[in-house]
Structure 1
Amino acid sequence: MERDQVLAFRVARHGLATRRPLTLAEAAACPASDYARGRALLALAARADGVTREAYDRATDAGELVLGPSLRAAIHAQAPRDFALFGQALLASDDAELADQIGPAFKRHLRDAGGTAGEVLTEVAEATQAALADGRALDRTQLHAELRERVRPELLPWCKGCASHHVSPMLWRFAGVRAGMRCDAGRRFLLARRRGTTPGPAEAARRYLRFYGPATPKDLGAWAGIARSHARRLWTEIEDELIEVHVEDRRAWLLAADEADLASPPQAEGVRLLPPRDPYVQAPDRATLVPDPVLRKRLFRPIADPGAILQDGRLAGLWRTRAKGKRLQIEVEEFERLDRDALQAEADRIAAVREARTAEVHLG
């Protein structure tokens, strides 16, 4: 199987083959990273017609779209019914795996904190829930102040940057996942409403394959930020639902229910400007998306990473923005010649979402 066929399948599954009239929750079926504020908004606008910042903020405040820590304890926009699935359900139950999941800084601190990884996480999560009880909404500074009053001093290391003691960054983020913490449009933290029964964590593996298949257990672990042993257990739970395929020289697996869609994916049309770290480019098998290692390094940068440009479903360039008052400058690097009218129309759409008056496209 050629990589182009796999990418066409993924483009369609990510809602990028055609832009449709979707609700924001439908557009966020695959969680959209908001590691830099506004990125998730642009990701949803690439998938759904008529997205505006006003509607996005209104949906976020109402809980119709949930913005909060989930995958890898990073802030994502997602459908309310899936918030716990991509967050709480993926927290490891094994203490060693949980410590690995939270990260090396936490593991170093855990030796002095006393208690297991699970006990420490539960302590901070319960303190977070208490701080946000009764509908309280707190910004990060206020939340840290509340936690200083509620957790043991051993869990409050000194932070040079803040010049204060507070719960370490990854611990409080993962505690937010356990607590069910979300954000409002002003980036204050509050508790999300519970919405029915959360499916078992194996459902997250199915969802991953629906968006990123064909894939491997290692890919699942990298995307979800969980230990390989944890990913392997989730994979084992759904093995009977999978078929093996070969993507060029790579063995991978797909949900059997998706075999027909992979065999005949729809043709994507038009130009899309995807924000940095858009869900589509978050597949761990980066070489499938960008075979050229030089281009791959230019797309996946540790800092100041650009957005990706799709043309008819193909990766066709990179883009960056610079705001000058109410003018939005979009600098474009082409990998192939882009349709100028379609590019300008997409740039105008980005400008409208960002509430700029005009979009100026500069080809580099």
Structure 2
Amino acid sequence: MAAMAQQIDRRQVLAYRIAVQQLDGSGTDLAQLAVLDLGLPDINGTAAQLAASVRLRGEADFSTLERVWSFRGSPYYHRPADLRELAGELWPLSESDAQPRLGWQRKQVTSTGTSALDALTEVAEAMFVEVSGAKRALTKGMLSTAVTARIRPELSWWCAGCKSTHVSEQLMRLGGLPAGLRLEPESSPLNISALPRWPGVPAKPLGVQRIIDAYLRLYGPAAPADVAGYLGTTRTAILPAWPTDLVQLDVSGRSAWLPDQLVDVVRAAKPAPLVRLLGAGDPYLQSRDRDVLVPDKVAQKAIWRILGNPGAVLVDGEIVGTWRAKQGGKSRTDLTVTEFGVIDPDARDEIAEEARRITAMRGVPDVRVTYVGG
């Protein structure tokens, strides 16, 4: 890491990210979208489709992708050809890396005296056996029951919500891709089946270099803690893999790094004159440097909530509000925009056009947009 940091304007950083993430709608092929180098988050069953729609000129054919549990155990769409490598890259580098990835269930697992890495391995191997040997898709509940019966009793806990004892939810999610599990889209309850010709649970981690490179390309300039947050681990776990040939930059008083060949590209970036309604979970909102993306703390709290995040309104390079939509009748959607300031009339016209496009995707012919203060 360089000793002295070069200054760079956050507006240039945001303009670069908007361009590299193709929010200008320049994409022509879903599988070739740049954001798929890290995947398309699908937190609510529609997020990925909405994210693709603002980046593509035509319609998105999701049958070319696979839906799996990947980063932080969340549902993502990925290119099928990337999945075997990604499974090894998401496998924890060590015990000190595995523990934080368990999130709120970390203490639950480690209190048994079993290492987080051993517990993850045992659950992933049990899931691989159950799913690869199944003649048909299993519901999540069926898989949980089968895995619980196969693993050691101490790796199962009483669940008040289910009123039963079963394997940890996060162990299942983190072990899903390494076990070769695919999440069948639009299935309710969730159906889980085997990815074709899956070789089994990784014997060792592949490292996170490709993930770091992709993160820097899509969300740079970035710091080790940013990539760690995206993976659900700690800065300490990432530091040994952090590249040593990066350029150190100062973005609004924050140290961040970027490959040398991208520095001039970022400096040359100019805010795009566009309006987008970004869905909750859009890749653009997944960067961990929220102070750069949205400096105002009140606005941050409005966008990134503990539960039920809204969408974000992007106008000419800045997030200027949030939006939520609800059914206003059989043929109308009511979309409410909460402004952080005052959105000018021209931008409102474009927001209305974006709202019509989104509701048309959902098969609703009419939309009403309402504005409220922040």
When normalised by structure 2's length, the TM-score is 0.86
Specify every segment of 5 or more residues in structure 1 that has no aligned partner in the other structure, as ranges: none
Instruction: Find out whether 1:192 has 2:191 as its counterpart.
Output: no
Counterpart CA distance in 2 for 1:214 and 1:315 is 19
Of residues 12, 19, 28, the one that matches 1:21 is 28
Counterpart CA distance in 1 for 2:76 and 2:138 is 18
Match of 1:148 in 2: 148
Report which of the two has the higher share of helix. 1
Of residues 317, 320, 323, the one that matches 2:321 is 317
Count of aligned pairs between the two proteins? 352
Q: Structure 1's 234 and 193: CA in aligned 2 closer, same or farther, altered over 3 A?
A: farther
Counterparts in 2 of 1:10-49, with a 5 A limit?
A: 10-24=17-31, 26=33, 28-49=36-57
Moved more, 298-307 or 279-288: 298-307
Displacement, 1:41? 1.5
Match of 2:3 in 1: none
Counterpart CA distance in 1 for 2:53 and 2:25 is 12
Instruction: Find out whether 1:358 has 2:362 as its counterpart.
Output: no
Counterpart CA distance in 1 for 2:26 and 2:320 is 18
Match of 2:4 in 1: none
Match of 2:307 in 1: 303
Instruction: Find out whether 1:81 has 2:89 as its counterpart.
Output: no
Contact 1:100 1:107 in 2 (8 A): no
Moved more, 144-153 or 6-15: 144-153
Match of 2:106 in 1: 106
Displacement, 1:332? 1.1
Contact 1:20 1:48 in 2 (8 A): yes
1:63-95 per-residue CA deviation (whole Å, 9 max, x = no partner) reads x21211111111112223333455541322312
Name the amino acid aligned to 1:13. V
Instruction: Find out whether 1:256 has 2:253 as its counterpart.
Output: no
Equivalent pairs: percent with the same residue?
A: 32
Counterpart CA distance in 2 for 1:339 and 1:94 is 49
Match of 1:133 in 2: 132
Match of 2:157 in 1: 157
Instruction: Find out whether 1:291 has 2:295 as its counterpart.
Output: yes
Contact 1:321 1:329 in 2 (8 A): yes
Q: Structure 1's 341 and 281: CA in aligned 2 closer, same or farther, altered over 3 A?
A: same
Name the amino acid aligned to 2:354. E
Counterpart CA distance in 1 for 2:97 and 2:161 is 29
Displacement, 1:210? 0.5
Q: Structure 1's 199 and 119: CA in aligned 2 closer, same or farther, altered over 3 A?
A: closer
Match of 2:209 in 1: 202
Match of 2:232 in 1: 225
Counterpart CA distance in 2 for 1:195 and 1:298 is 41
Counterpart CA distance in 2 for 1:353 and 1:130 is 39
Counterpart CA distance in 2 for 1:265 and 1:81 is 32
Counterpart CA distance in 2 for 1:97 and 1:283 is 20
When normalised by structure 1's length, the TM-score is 0.89
Specify every segment of 5 or more residues in structure 2 that has no aligned partner in the other structure, as ranges: 1-7
Match of 1:96 in 2: 96
Q: 1:339 aligns to what SS in structure 2?
A: helix
Moved more, 312-321 or 78-87: 78-87
Moved more, 314-323 or 194-203: 194-203
